[in-house]
Amino acid sequence: MPVYEYVCDECENHYEMMQALSVNPAETVCPKCNATRSRRIMSAFASKVVGTHKTGFQEMKAYDMLGDRMDRLAKLPPISGARAAPDAGNSLPPGAVPSDSA
Element (H, E) at 61: helix 57-74
Give 99's pLDDT tier (boundaries 50, 70, 90).
low
29 falls within a domain: yes
Q: Is the pLDDT of residue 13 over 70?
A: yes
pTM across the whole model: 0.42
69 falls within a domain: no
49 falls within a domain: no
98 falls within a domain: no
Q: What is the pLDDT of residue 51?
A: 63
Specify the 3-state DSSP secondary structure of 18.
Answer: strand
The pLDDT tens digits of the residues spanning 26-71 come to: 888 888 998 888 888 877 776 676 666 666 777 788 888 888 988 8
Element (H, E) at 72: helix 57-74
32 falls within a domain: yes
17 falls within a domain: yes
What is the extent of the structural domain holding 37?
A: 3-41
36 falls within a domain: yes
Q: What is the pLDDT of residue 17?
A: 87
When divided into structural domains, the chain yields a total of 1
Give Cα 28 distance to the centre of its chain. Answer: 38
48 falls within a domain: no
C-alpha triplet 14, 16, 22: angle, nearest 5°: 125
